[in-house]
């Protein structure tokens, strides 16, 4: 490691959708082995308490690109397809636009979900997608006969390609029809394609090919992988890698604050229901790990590893049965926290762990800091470089929000305030599974009241929320 280097690093961002922070063997998970991501964490720094800026795809991705939260209504606060105008309500420069202006060659491969703006900086045959994967459907059609309409297949609404559905698929579809709080996609099953033709492979191979070209100019490339976000559709190899009967049910599977949670009302908390969901999810995580290994190997083969800042993270997590529900959009740990690993051998000591507060808003400032590019005046986040080097954090709390809610989280406390709902305060040190809202106890303790007032004051002073109108919420 050479902290004094003046060489500008390349940048490789591996951005994954709906990936929990704790589904790795280096985080102590006993269901799965993730040797490639364990390697990355061991060769870089693991930010153990990182959180997303919002537990929803598009706004979180907008924050990763811009370094800005959505709290004041000036920045994107909903998912946007690549054909529509994104709700970047203020004039912003993305991190990739700033790098391109500084002379970097920038590419982006995979899920985008932040509208049609800010794409002109990308080179190299860019292919971004949102909810419709037309190019992938065409790729499959050129290589495989279309499976028959035989009652054993359903159509994946993302790709338009048939898959063999599992019983949990029917359960989730029926639950949505019956008004349960469900994810927006129920698809779960097997797609009959080879390892090299899965959606993850189709996305990540674009990045490995670019790295294999041995680029000679500084580059910043993002590989944005959709799964394990639904649809939970894997090929035979990965779909059958984990047995639903071996899936451990979450410790807080019996706790909820939802009015109509799907578990166990619609999905049994056993191998027949939630276990199938979890087995497919873990299979897709295993495939992700394999492709991370391929990308790291490509960097090694091209002689680029020492000079490349690798960032691995997710836009948000997945509840996966915790609090009797699925998906995201809640500030519970399983949805809010994200993996965040950074490796840059010339400037980051290997094997470090940092438990400082870190948010998605801090990623863009950190990238520009390591690349020697001035910080953008729009930034709400701050560079994590000092924290990574062992300096004390500037703040013990990380901030997150949605259209109608705000959250402050430290290692010890989490406070959530939501429009038209009672506030929540959890003491994470003593209640890591968030089953005891201190503000719902009777009587409420003086300590809880005092902390609530302190954090309310901070939210009002530093993150003045522009609560959206009913019309804006429907958009």
Domains of the chain, earliest start first: 10-387 (3.40.720.10)
The residue assigned the tokens 């801090």 is: 362
> Parallel, antiparallel, or unpaired for β 352-354 and 50-51?
unpaired
The residue assigned the tokens 């690093």 is: 9
Taking Cα atoms as reference points, which of 153, 151, 109, 149 lies closest to residue 133? 109
CB of 230 within 8 A of CB of 19?
A: no
Task: Give the pair of three-digit tokens for residue 15.
Answer: 């951005």
CB of 203 within 8 A of CB of 225?
A: yes
**Interatomic CA distance for residues 121 and 98, integer angstroms:** 9
Residue 467 has a CB neighbour count (10 Å cut-off) of 13
Helix H or strand E encompassing 387: helix 385-388
| Helix-strand-coil split of the chain, %, nearest 5 | 30, 15, 50
Task: Give the pair of three-digit tokens for residue 195.
Answer: 């390892």
**Interatomic CA distance for residues 350 and 319, integer angstroms:** 31
Helix H or strand E encompassing 407: strand 405-409
CA within 13 Å, CB half, 372: 12
Task: Give the pair of three-digit tokens for residue 451.
Answer: 């902390």
CA angle 54, 60, 65 (to 5 degrees): 145
470 contact partners, CB below 8 Å, separation of at least 6? none
Task: Say what angle helices 274-301 and 35-43 make with each other, to 10 degrees.
Answer: 50
**Interatomic CA distance for residues 199 and 329, integer angstroms:** 24
109, β-bridge pairs: 127, 223
472 contact partners, CB below 8 Å, separation of at least 6? 403
pLDDT the model gives residue 6: 63
CB of 234 within 8 A of CB of 281?
A: no
Task: Give the pair of three-digit tokens for residue 343.
Answer: 């490796």
Q: Which residues of the chain have pLDDT under 50?
A: 1-4
**Interatomic CA distance for residues 42 and 350, integer angstroms:** 6
**Coil/strand/helix, residue 120:** coil
pLDDT the model gives residue 191: 97
Task: Say what angle helices 167-177 and 274-301 make with each other, to 10 degrees.
Answer: 110
**Interatomic CA distance for residues 377 and 374, integer angstroms:** 9
Q: Any alpha helices (H) in 240-371, and if so which ranges?
A: 274-301, 333-336, 363-371
**Coil/strand/helix, residue 257:** coil
333 contact partners, CB below 8 Å, separation of at least 6? 317, 414, 428, 432, 433, 434
pLDDT the model gives residue 2: 47
Taking Cα atoms as reference points, which of 128, 91, 76 lies closest to residue 475? 76
The string of pLDDT tens digits covering residues 420-443 is: 899 999 999 999 999 999 999 999
3-class secondary structure for 15-46? EECCCCCCCCHHHCCCCCCCHHHHHHHHHCEE
The values of phi and psi at residue 199, to 5°, are -60, -40
CB of 244 within 8 A of CB of 167?
A: no
pLDDT the model gives residue 5: 53
**Interatomic CA distance for residues 337 and 365, integer angstroms:** 19
Cis preceding linkage at 443, omega within 30: yes
The residue assigned the tokens 């690109």 is: 65
CA 91: distance to chain centroid? 25
């Amino acid at each position: 490691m050479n902290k004094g280097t003046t060489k500008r690093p390349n940048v490789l961002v591996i951005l994954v959708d709906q990936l929990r922070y704790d589904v790795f063997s280096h985080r102590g998970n006993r269901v799965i082995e993730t040797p490639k991501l364990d390697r990355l964490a061991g060769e870089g720094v693991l930010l153990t308490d990182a959180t997303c800026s919002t537990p929803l795809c598009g706004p979180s991705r907008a924050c990763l690109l811009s370094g800005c939260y959505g709290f004041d209504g000036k920045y994107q606060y909903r998912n946007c397809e690549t054909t529509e105008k994104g709700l970047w309500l203020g004039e912003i420069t993305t991190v990739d636009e700033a790098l391109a202006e500084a002379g970097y060659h920038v590419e982006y491969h995979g899920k985008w979900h932040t509208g049609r703006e800010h794409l002109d900086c990308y080179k190299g045959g860019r292919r971004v997608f949102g909810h419709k994967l037309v190019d992938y459907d065409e790729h499959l059609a050129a290589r495989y006969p279309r499976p028959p309409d035989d009652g054993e297949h359903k159509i994946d609404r993302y790709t338009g390609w048939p898959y063999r559905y599992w019983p949990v698929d029917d359960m989730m579809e029926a639950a949505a029809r019956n008004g349960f709080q469900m994810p927006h996609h129920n698809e779960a099953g097997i797609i009959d394609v080879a390892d090299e033709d899965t959606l993850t492979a189709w996305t990540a191979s674009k990045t490995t090919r670019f790295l294999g070209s041995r680029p000679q100019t500084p580059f910043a490339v993002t590989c944005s992988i959709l799964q394990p976000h639904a649809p939970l559709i894997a090929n035979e190899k990965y779909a059958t890698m984990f047995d639903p009967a071996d899936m451990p049910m979450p410790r807080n599977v019996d706790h909820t604050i939802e009015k109509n949670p799907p578990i166990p009302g619609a999905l049994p908390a056993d191998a027949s229901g939630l276990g199938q969901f979890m087995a497919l999810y873990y299979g897709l995580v295993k495939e992700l790990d394999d492709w991370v290994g391929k990308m790291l190997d490509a960097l090694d083969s091209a002689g680029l590893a020492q000079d490349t800042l690798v960032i691995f993270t997710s836009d948000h997590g997945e509840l996966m049965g915790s609090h009797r529900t699925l998906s995201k959009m809640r500030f519970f740990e399983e949805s809010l926290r994200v993996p965040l690993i950074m490796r840059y051998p010339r400037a980051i000591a290997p094997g470090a762990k940092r438990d400082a507060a870190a948010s998605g808003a801090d990623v863009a400032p950190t990238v520009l800091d390591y690349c020697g590019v001035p910080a953008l005046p729009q930034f709400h986040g701050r560079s994590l470089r000092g924290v990574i080097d062992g300096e004390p954090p500037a703040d013990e709390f990380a901030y997150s929000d949605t259209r109608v809610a705000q959250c402050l989280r430290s290692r010890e406390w989490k406070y959530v305030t939501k429009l038209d709902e009672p506030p929540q305060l959890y003491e994470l040190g003593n209640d890591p599974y968030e089953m005891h809202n201190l503000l719902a106890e009777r009587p409420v303790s003086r300590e809880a009241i005092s902390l609530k007032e302190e954090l309310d004051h901070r939210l009002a002073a530093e993150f003045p929320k522009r609560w959206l109108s009913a019309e804006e919420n429907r958009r």
